[in-house]
């Protein structure tokens, strides 16, 4: 799990947007400088570190959804229409997580106005935003893009 993913899930599950790198560093026995450097580099967290953070904050940050795919060809004309509803699904995610525009844009590493453009449909999703959402929330890319 990447540091940003850990941080985003931690904010979501604790409903605290004031968690500091120092606090996380305390959980895994790292100095302020060391944990800040790891955050900036967005390094992978060791499983033992994730477990220590989970224990300290009394949360479960893990969860893997495994699905099998057939990889068969298909011709689905509704895909373009469903992609137009990305902003509605993003808004639905925000309502379910009870996060403000400012909080969710911070989690997704976006400026608040950029986030609002995605939410209103003025900006189309790209791979970067899909990955940020996927890393920080337990939802599928298919649901984000196509409502499936």
Structural domain spans, the chain: 3-57, 79-146
Instruction: Give the pLDDT of residue 69.
Output: 58
User: Per residue in 94-131, pLDDT tens?
Assistant: 999 999 999 999 999 999 999 999 999 899 888 889 98
Average pLDDT (1-6) is 86
CA distance 63 to 37: 26
Assign 66 a pLDDT band (cuts: 50, 70, 90): very low
What is the predicted pLDDT for the residue at 117?
94
Domain 3-57 belongs to what topology? 434 Repressor (Amino-terminal Domain) (1.10.260)
pLDDT computed for residue 28 by the predictor? 94
- Region 2-13 average pLDDT: 84
Of the candidates 100, 90, 97, the one whose C-alpha atom is nearest the C-alpha of residue 9 is 97
Q: Do domains 3-57 and 79-146 have the same CATH topology?
A: yes
Cα–Cα distance for residue pair 99/75, rounded to 1 Å: 37
Q: Note the pLDDT tens digit of each residue in 10-46.
A: 888 888 878 899 999 999 999 999 999 999 999 999 9
Q: What is the pTM of this model?
A: 0.49
User: Is CATH 3.90.420.10 what the domain over 79-146 is classified as, yes or no?
Assistant: no
In terms of C-beta distances under 8 Å and separation of at least 24 residues, what long-range contacts does 17-26 make, across chains too?
17/103, 17/106, 24/53, 26/56
3-state secondary structure of 2: strand
């Amino acid at each position: 799990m990447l540091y940003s993913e850990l941080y985003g899930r931690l904010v979501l599950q604790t409903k605290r947007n004031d968690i500091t790198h120092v606090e996380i560093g305390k959980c895994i026995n790292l100095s302020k400088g060391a944990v800040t450097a790891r955050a900036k580099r967005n390094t992978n967290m060791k499983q033992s570190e994730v477990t220590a953070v989970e224990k300290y904050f009394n949360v479960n940050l893990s969860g893997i959804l495994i699905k099998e795919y057939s990889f068969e060809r298909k011709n689905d004309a509704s895909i373009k229409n469903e992609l137009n509803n990305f902003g509605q699904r993003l808004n639905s995610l925000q309502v379910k997580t009870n996060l403000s525009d400012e909080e969710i844009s911070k989690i997704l590493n976006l400026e608040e106005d950029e986030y609002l453009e995605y939410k209103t449909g003025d900006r189309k999703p790209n791979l970067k935003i899909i990955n940020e959402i996927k890393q920080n929330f337990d939802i599928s890319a298919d649901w984000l893009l196509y409502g499936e």
